[in-house]
Amino acid sequence: MKHADGIAALRASVPIRAGHGKPAHIRLSDVPAPWRKDFQAALDAAAPGAQATAEAPAAEWQAFVVALLRDLRPRRMAAALRLLRRGPRPDILATAPVLDDWIAVRDRDGICHLAGLAHGLPGLDSHHVVTSTLCALSEADGWALTTHRWYRLGTPGTTAVLDRLQGAPETPNLTPATARDLDIWFADLTDWFGGPALHTDRAPHTRAN
């Protein structure tokens, strides 16, 4: 998958137009360059031989963006959402790794993760880590679910955790996630993967150092 401004940002960056007797549509010139060629190829595949135009139906664009989201580790995401529907079982949480000094972060594709100091994580005990894709977070109840595992949440941290991760290949692409970033991310997961209501119950800790 190409890296652009992020899938959520990509969707928001292309205005849906209507009026003048036209159905909802987009202008191909509004699609950011890294994605325009792929979108045009998808249009050509859907209607071989069709005359090229400067516009496309909004529904085609929305389907293209949904397809991008569905490329995000769909099997792991589906498995994580099944776990979430059953809820965080006390016996599972009792043996889950603990994430201390944690904050919510966002990569340049708009995907949210947690970063922090892991305890009890196989192979990475007492290491600062970036989790896999974040599926759900309850700070009040002290747990988080990613595509790989449950975590127990310890003491929240600050953006200084990103400095401690310096040198990890994924770190330069991470920025602190705001409460709004997380709300958008969880809403997108619910829409696109058919999951339950995914939410944060309080604003994430993204305080500066």
- Pair 85, 179 in one domain: yes
**Is residue 140 domain-resident?**
yes
The Cβ of residue 22 has, within 10 Å, a number of other Cβ atoms equal to 10
Cα(109)–Cα(111) distance, integer angstroms: 5
Strands (E), 28-120: 55-57, 98-106, 112-119
Closest to 69 measured CA to CA, from 37, 115, 97, 110: 110
pTM of the full structure = 0.59
Q: In sequence order, what are the beta bridge partners of 55?
A: 27
Query: Which of 31-45, 46-60, 70-84, 120-134 is the least confident region?
Result: 70-84
Please give the angle made by the CA atoms of 64, 23 and 2, to the nearest 5 degrees. Answer: 20
**Whether pLDDT at 114 is above 60:** yes
The DSSP output letter for 144 is E
**Helix, strand, coil fractions of the chain, as percent rounded to 5:** 35, 25, 40
pLDDT digit string, tens, across residues 194-209: 554 444 443 344 444 4
- Pair 79, 65 in one domain: no
- Pair 65, 92 in one domain: no
- Pair 163, 118 in one domain: yes
Domain that holds residue 136: 74-193
Task: Please tell me the total count of domains within the chain.
Answer: 2
Take residue 79 and report the two structure tokens written for it: 């498995």
